[in-house]
Chain A
Amino acid sequence: MKKTFSQSMAWLHTWGGLIFGWLLFAIFLTGSLSIFDREITHWMQPEIGTSEVPVADAVNRASDYLQTNAPDSESWLLVPPNDRNPGMAVFWQKTPEQAFQHAILDPATGQEAPRQTDGGHFFVHFHYQFNAGTLGTWIVGALGLMLLISLLTGIVIHKRIFRDFFTFRPRVGGQRTWLDAHNALSVLTLPFLLMITFSGLAIFAFMYIPSPIKLLYDGDSEAFFDEARPHVHQEPAGKPAPLLPLGGFVERARAAFGGNQVWFMTVDHQGDKNAVITAGALNEDQLTLSSQQIQFNAVTGEVLQNGVQMKPAALTQRVLAGLHFAQFGGYATHWLYFLSGLVGTVMIAAGLVLFTVKRRRQYTADNDVSTGFLRFAEKMNIAAVAGPVIACLAYLWSNRLLPVDLPGHAGWEIGIFFAVWLLSLLYSFMRTPRQAWFEQIACAAILALLLPLLNGLTTNQHLLASLSKGDWRLAGVDLTVFTLGILFAGLAARLGTKNRLANSRTEPAGWWEYAD
C-alpha cells in the first residue's frame, strides 16, 4: 500500500517521538534545570557563606590549593565566585588525555567545602552526555536530531497550526485534551524548541560531523581550532619559573572586559617559563559565547592577546552556542528560558501520554500495535516521565540526607539519582499503569513539597533565613521546587479521583487496569 506524504510523516512523528521521547523528556527536564545550575550548586553547598569575598583573594587561595594538591598538573581551570554562585570551583588535569578532577573550595578559607557535590553542574552534564562520556554525547546527538525531525514532521502533520493557535479545551477530556495540550505547547514555544534543539546540535557540530576537519585539516583538530578561534598556544620551554599571583590577573582581566566579571581562568603549563593564563568574561550583554577573552604570560604578566578575532562561520557557531547556554540578559531571560524549557518538557510528556491514550480507546478496533507493546509503552512512559522528576528530587534530597563527610559525597548523590530512576522503572512494571502514575506523581509531589522543610531542618539556610536576607538565589530554589510540588499534588489529586471513579465502575475494566 502506498502511503501519502503526510501519512509517512505522521508515522515518523509517532514512532520517533515515542521511542526517542522516553529519553528526551529527561534531557529537557535536566536541560531546563541547567539554566539555574549555579543557583542549584549554591543551594547544594549550604556551608559556603554568602559573605562577599574579593574575587582576587578567592583566586589566590585557590591557586595555593592547586599548588599543594595538583603541583604536577598540565592545566588548571578556575571558576571564581560570581553574582550567581559564591563557591570557588577548581579543576585540574595531569595530561590533556586524562579527565579533569575537581573540587569546590570555600572562597573565604581556600579549603575544600565540607559538602562536596557536583551541584547543578550534574544536570548540565547529564543533559548532554548522560554521564556516559563521549558515547553519551553521541546518544544525545541522535536524540537531538530525532527531536528536530519530530518538530518538523509535527509541523507537517499539524494541519491547523494557525486556526488552532490558541486552542486548548481542558473540559473535552481524554485524547482531545492531550492532543490540544501537545499541539498548543509545541506551537507556542516552537521558536524556542527549534532554536534550542538546533543550537544544541551546533555546539557539538565538530564532533557529529567530523569529516570536514579530516578532509581540510588532515584530522588535526587543534589546527582547526587555532584557526577558528585564534589564541596563543605556547609549548612548555622546560625551564622552571614561578607563577605570578593569580589574583592580580583577575583585576587586569576585569579592566580589559570593561568591568564584566571573570567567568573562568585557565593556567597552562604552570611552573614553566612559558605558562599561559587565559581569562574569559561573563558577558551578559552579548549573545556570543565567550566573546571576551584575554591571555597573559603567567611568569612575566605580559598581555599575549586581548579579544578574540572570529571569522563569520566561527562567530555563527559561537552565537548558536551562546543562544543555547543562555548566559545573557540576566534573570528575566533565564526565567523565560526555564519556563520555555519546562513547557517543552511537558509537551514531550503530553505526546508520550497521547500515544497510549489514543490507542487504549481504539484497542478493540483496528490497531497498529499489539496489546503487549501498548502495555510496555504505558510502563515506559511512567518511568520516562515520573522517573526523572523523582530522580532529580531525590538528588536534591540526598544532598541533605547523606552524611556531610561521607567520602565520595558527590558520587553518591549521582548514584542515588540513577538508582531512583531505575527503581521507578522497576516499580512501573510491578503496578498497573493507573496505580503507578498516581503513586509516582504523588511521590514527586511529597518530595517537592517537603524539600523546603528538609532544607530548614538540615541547614540554617532555610526559606525564612534566605527570604529575610533577601537571598533570592537560595529562596528561588526552595520556592520553585515547592511550586512544582503544588502542581504535582494537583495532578496526583486528579489521577486519584479518576482511579476511584474507575474502581467504582461496574463495567469490566480495561486491560490497562491490570498489572502484568
Chain B
Amino acid sequence: MIIIALAFAYAGMTALCLAMRKHYRQVWNRNPIQAERISLRIAAWILLIASLALCIMGWGASIGPVAWFGMLSVTGLILIFLLPCLPRLAVSLGVLAPLLSLIGIFAA
C-alpha cells in the first residue's frame, strides 16, 4: 500500500511537472500542444488523488493526509534532482513505478 501510494505520488508529480512548458521542453525538446498539457494535468491530479486515497486506506483519515504530504515532498525532491541530470529516466520512472508497484502487489 505504502509503495503504491509512493509510486502514484511520484507519477503524479512527474505529470504535473511535464504539463509545464519549460519542463516538457527539457525532456522532449519541443513545445507541448495544448491537448497534451491538459491531459497531463488531468492525469496528474487523478494520480495524486489516488495516492491520497491509498494513504487514507493504509493509515486512516487522520494520519493518511499527513503521510501523503510527506510523500509529495519526498517524491518531488527525487524528481527535481533527476530531471536536470537524467530527464528521460525521471519520466520513465514516472510511468514504470506505478505499473511495477501494481504488478508487484497483484503477483504477491
**Chain A: residues with CB nearer than 8 A to chain B?**
163, 165-171, 184-185, 188-189, 191-192, 285-287, 323, 328-329, 332-333, 336-337, 339-340, 343
**CA of A188 to CA of B85 in the docked complex: distance in angstroms?**
19
| A residues near B13, Cβ cutoff 8 Å | 166
Q: How far is the CA of A339 from the CA of B79 in the complex (A)?
A: 15
Bound Cα distance from A169 to B23, whole angstroms: 12
Give Cα distance in the complex from A167 to B81, angstroms: 9
Taking the nearest CB of chain A, how far is it from the CB of B75, in angstroms? 9
How close is B16's CB to chain A, nearest CB, in angstroms?
Answer: 8
Picked from A165, A169, A184, A339, the residue with its CB within 8 Å of the CB of B74 is: A339
A285 to B72, CA, bound (A): 21
The answer to whether A170 and B85 touch across the interface, beta carbons within 8 angstroms, is yes
CA distance A456 to B63 in the complex (A): 38
B80 within 8 Å of A by Cβ? yes
20 pairs, A vs B, C-beta closer than 8 Å: A166-B13, A166-B20, A166-B76, A166-B79, A167-B80, A168-B81, A170-B84, A184-B77, A184-B80, A189-B77, A192-B70, A285-B60, A285-B63, A323-B66, A328-B63, A328-B66, A333-B70, A337-B70, A339-B70, A339-B73
Complex CA gap A369/B77 in Å reads: 33
Q: Which residues of B contact A332 (CB under 8 A)?
A: 2, 67
**In the complex the two chains form, is A333's CB within 8 Å of B80's CB?**
no
Instruction: Say whether B48 faces chain A, with CB atoms less than 8 Å apart.
Output: no
CB atoms of A191 and B69 under 8 A apart: yes
Bound complex: CA of A332 vs CA of B20, how far in Å?
A: 31
Task: List chain B residues, Cβ under 8 A from A337.
Answer: 70
B67 touches A333 (CB 8 A): yes
List residues of B (59-108) whose CB comes within 8 Å of A's CBs. Answer: 59-60, 62-63, 66-67, 69-74, 76-77, 79-81, 83-85
Question: Do residues A168 and B83 form an inter-chain contact, with CB atoms below 8 A?
Answer: yes
The distance in angstroms between the C-alpha atoms of A336 and B69, with both chains bound, is 9
CA of A340 to CA of B68, assembled, Å: 12
Known: A168-B81, A184-B80, A332-B2. A343 touches B73 (CB 8 A): yes
Cβ-defined contact, A192 with B85, below 8 A: no
Complex Cα gap A488–B85 (Å): 20
CA distance A188 to B71 in the complex (A): 10
Whether B4 sits at the interface, judged by CB under 8 Å, is: no
Contacts known (A285-B60, A329-B59); A336 close to B67, Cβ less than 8 A:
yes
| CB contact under 8 A between A329 and B67, given known A166-B76, A188-B73, A188-B77 | yes
Given contacts A166-B23, A332-B2, A343-B73, contact A287 B66 (CB under 8 A): yes
Q: How far is the CB of A285 from chain B (nearest CB, A)?
A: 7
A-chain residues with CB within 8 Å of residue B62 when the two chains form the complex: 286-287
Counting chain A CB atoms within 10 Å of each CB, the highest count among B2, B22, B70 belongs to B70
Separation in Å of the A339 CB from the closest CB of chain B?
5
Given contacts A166-B17, A166-B76, contact A333 B66 (CB under 8 A): yes
Q: Do the beta carbons of B80 and A336 come within 8 Å of each other?
A: no
Cβ–Cβ < 8 Å partners of B85 in chain A: 170
> What CA separation (Å) do A170 and B22 show in the bound complex?
16
Q: Which chain A residues border B17 with CB–CB below 8 Å?
A: 165-166
B77 touches A343 (CB 8 A): yes
B76: A residues at CB distance < 8 A:
166, 188
Chain A residues with Cβ below 8 Å from B74 are 336, 339-340
The closest CB in chain A to the CB of B62 belongs to A287
CB-defined contacts of B77 to chain A, threshold 8 Å: 184-185, 188-189, 343
Seed contacts A168-B81, A169-B84, A336-B67; 19 additional CB < 8 Å A-B pairs: A165-B20, A166-B20, A166-B80, A166-B83, A167-B22, A168-B84, A170-B84, A185-B77, A188-B72, A189-B73, A285-B60, A287-B62, A328-B63, A329-B63, A332-B2, A332-B67, A336-B70, A339-B70, A339-B74
User: How far in angstroms is the closest Cβ of chain B from A31?
Assistant: 15
Closest to A336 in B: B70
Please name the residue on chain A nearest to B70 by beta carbon: A336
Q: Complex: how many Å from CA A340 to CA B70? A: 7
Q: Which residues of B contact A170 (CB under 8 A)?
A: 84-85
A192 to B65, CA, bound (A): 12
Contact A340 B80 (CB under 8 A): no
Taking CB atoms, residues of chain B closer than 8 Å to A329 are 59, 63, 66-67
Collect the chain A residues with CB atoms within 8 Å of residue B67's CB: 329, 332-333, 336
The chain B residue sitting closest to A287, CB to CB, is: B62
* Closest-CB distance, A194 to chain B (whole angstroms): 10
> Judging by beta carbons under 8 Å apart, are A188 and B70 in contact?
no
The 8 Å CB contact of A192, one of B60, B69, B79, is: B69
Residue of A nearest to B71 (CB): A336
Bound together, the chains give a CA A168 to CA B13 distance in angstroms of 15
A163 vs B23: C-alpha distance when bound (angstroms): 10
Query: Given the interface contacts A167-B80, A333-B67, does A191 sit within 8 Å of B59 by beta carbon?
Result: no
For the complex, give the distance between the alpha carbons of A166 and B84 in Å. Answer: 10
Q: Is the CB of B23 within 8 A of A340?
A: no
CA distance A124 to B5 in the complex (A): 30
In the assembled complex, which residues on chain A have CB atoms less than 8 Å from the CB atom of B22? 167
Q: How far is the CA of A286 from the CA of B81 in the complex (A)?
A: 33
How far, in Å, is A334 (CB) from chain B's closest CB? 10
